[in-house]
Amino acid sequence: MTILLETRQLFKQFGGLTVTDYCDFSVESGDIHALIGPNGAGKTTMIAQIAGSLKPDDGRIFFDGTDITRTPMYKRVAMGLARTFQITNIFKGYSVLDNLALSVQSRSGSSFRFWRPVKRERALYDEAAHIAQRVGLGDRLDVLAGALAHGQQRQLEVGLALAINARMLLLDEPMAGMGLDESGRVIELIRNLNEDVTILLVEHDMDAVFQLADRISVLVYGSIIATGTPDEIRADREVQVAYLGESNA
């Protein structure tokens, strides 16, 4: 398999606190790779550095073989590296269709013409409707995003990332705050999306992680302590002690 994302000796401190401790980490193209660890392990900080919203103090980040360590976030998005957040980030006063159309427009630039209404650009809205269908919101096109259920808002946020032709999705706790039914729908959505998109998943729901992940990396105090298949991670004694809370007895 081809490595799509790689970090080499990635390091980040806040004051005297080390939150990313010289991490070597990679994600293979086509995989769902889960990054797990206890609260405070540094998972979101790691994702932020990969996405470009936070600069590392040392080390390098590569996307599809290109060094993006100093590449601005918007250029990473244009390269196909898209992120969702722990707190849903959508345009709540706009409809589902308009949310997605704005995201398509940001990638295509198709509506940056003077004196031409956006609504007349049918191709833009047709693509937005197709993405809505793909993320399970095809019957909610005219609903205001703020009126959607929590799980549907997360589906819309994934749609916004897809609309910029993402090659890799960084999903930061997509099932946070969801019940079993909503989580089940998002699990199925992620599985379907993975047919076309590589996914780096940060998630506390271990049932979801072990259902979805091809490979799992365990982050503890800013360091990767293990990487392997779900079965390998389940059987890893260091992971059991450091993350799953089991004793050495």
Q: Where are the domains of the chain?
A: 3-242
Place of tokens 């004694």: 237
Helices (H), 60-121: 73-79, 96-108
Cα–Cα distance for residue pair 179/106, rounded to 1 Å: 33
Q: Measured at the alpha carbon of residue 125, what is the angle toward residues 162 and 119, in degrees to the nearest 5?
A: 140
Identify which of 93, 56, 87 has the alpha carbon closest to the alpha carbon of residue 71: 56
> pLDDT tens for residues 200-249?
999 988 899 999 999 999 999 999 999 999 999 999 998 888 765 554 43
More confident residue, 242 or 15: 15
pTM recorded for the entire structure = 0.86
Residue 228: how many CB atoms within 10 A of its CB?
A: 15
Give residue 7's pLDDT.
98
> pLDDT tens for residues 59-97?
999 999 999 999 999 899 889 999 876 556 788 899 999
Domain spanning 3-242, CATH architecture: 3-Layer(aba) Sandwich (3.40)
* Burial group, residue 140, by CB count within 10 angstroms (0-12, 13-18, 19+): buried
Q: What are 216's two structure tokens? A: 């799992």
Cβ–Cβ under 8 Å, residues 32 and 208: no
